[in-house]
Amino acid sequence: MKPMHVETRVKKGENIERAIKRFTKKVKKEAIIEDVRERMYYEKPSETKRRMRKKRKVVLDKLKAKQETN
């Protein structure tokens, strides 16, 4: 598991909601929440491979459909 360090400092005169929004963006960019959800339960390596294969197929099908329309 990679280290998860996200830090947001509130700038002088900055609205606290704005700082929270910047923090949320950083968390999403680092994919911390998704990583925690994935690691919540053990997933067998075969299930991981199957999930990744399925995800890859969906992406390739979308690209193929896009190329056919153009």
Q: Are residues 47 and 35 in the same domain?
A: no
Q: Are residues 47 and 34 in the same domain?
A: no
Structural domain including 47 reads: 43-70
Q: Are residues 11 and 26 in the same domain?
A: yes
Q: Are residues 35 and 52 in the same domain?
A: no
Q: Are residues 2 and 33 in the same domain?
A: yes
Q: Are residues 30 and 7 in the same domain?
A: yes
Q: Are residues 1 and 25 in the same domain?
A: yes
Per residue of the chain (70 residues), give pLDDT as tens: 566 788 889 999 999 999 999 999 999 998 888 888 888 999 999 999 999 999 999 999 999 999 998 7
Q: Are residues 61 and 34 in the same domain?
A: no
How far from 52 is each of 4, 11, 26, 28, 42, CA to CA, in Å?
23, 41, 25, 20, 16
Is the pTM higher than 0.85? The answer reads no
